[in-house]
Homo-oligomer: A and B are copies of this chain.
Amino acid sequence: MDLNLSAEEMAFRDEVRAFIAAELSPETREKLVLGREIGKHDFVEWQRKLNAKGWAVPNWPVEWGGQNWEPMQEYIFLDELQQAPAPSPLQFNCSMVGPVIATFGSEEQKKKFLAPTANLDIWWCQGFSEPGAGSDLAGLKTTARREGDFYIINGQKTWTTLAQYADWIFVLARTNPQAEKKQQGISFILVDMKTPGVTVRPIQLIDGGREVNEVWFDEVKVPAENLVGQENRGWDYAKYLLTNERMGIARIGVSKQRIRRIKELAKIERYGDTQLLDQPWFREKLVSVEIELKALEITQLRVLAEARKRGKHGEADPNSSILKIKGSELQQVTTELMMDVMGPYVLPFAASMDDEDRTNEPPIGPDYAASAGPTYFNSRKISIYGGSNEIQRNIIAKAILGF
């Protein structure tokens, strides 16, 4: 038993750290530190740098740019990105559609899509959720009707993150409405966002940002060759994809970074005659969260160690549901602590947090205060998306406790 990184792991971590320090644009980093949304440009620039280094898609097959990393390496990599903080490689590309195409796609699809997907020349978005089917993903109603060499897609997707930047969308659609179980008869189809009949409507979230969208499909005509794998087998591919999503689900690095930031700011902020950070009650609140985070980090590492034993393509580990529950709670609670730092300055709403509306007005109060409220509001979604914490509890109850 040993909680320390091995020499190789340590060397790798230092390499990642040095790379980020050298290559990450200070503007992008500054936005992340201040809790502002980063724009398309930040993502693309950074992912291309990672791709040039060979680090954009480490989890893909080696022939398509993968690195064959150990789970631990992958974790170190993501953790360093989160702690920097730097953007992670775009997950829709790298953890979602890329691995699905690489595993189930045709040779033509691989050749056409994988390299530009890795380099973020194509920006993908995910067309899974629907208004009527949130946690009950398999209840989806969007249809893809086969007509000759085409599918005609009709329906509505929602919560489509960053669809406004997307070139392509991967869609789950019902190709056989007569299938016996609702999980059957679903297909996985790639759709060019420029196809006539695709409409994107942004949804503004309570933090003022517009990171998610509704995407409407009205008689959208898609070449049949854009079907991934077999017709009506899309649910299997989606499940495969969602398993990939779970690496780093707890986003411990994000919470660590935020706690460090809170400490910095609590030295600047005054409380009566002292620094806020000198207040025992504030330190107790902070250290209380740190303890849980430390515990979760070790829990995460234990899950990783198990993953290594099972091999990379094992079943989804239901223990990752523990990471999701606790990880989302801790991310949320750190945003509460950040509000505590600001005191009354949490109230002012600084125009809008997203790029387009950003004004050049000076901040109200300290410049770091503006994002505290919005970040807290936005953080409430973390325990909702990707399978709400209630769904995660159902999974654990069944898969681990055997209820």
Q: List the interface of chain A (C-beta within 8 A of B).
A: 280-281, 284
Contact = CB atoms under 8 A, between A and B. Distances in A.
- Interface majority SS (helix, strand, loop, mixed), chain A: helix
Contacts of A281: 280, 284
Contacts of A280: 280-281
3 contacts: A280-B280, A280-B281, A281-B284
A281 B280 CA distance: 9
A281 B281 CA distance: 8
Contacts of A284: 281
A25 to B, nearest CB: 45
Nearest to A284: B281
A284 to B, nearest CB: 8
A177 B280 CA distance: 65
A280 B279 CA distance: 12
A91 B284 CA distance: 45
A290 to B, nearest CB: 18
A260 to B, nearest CB: 25
A287 to B, nearest CB: 13
A310 B246 CA distance: 56
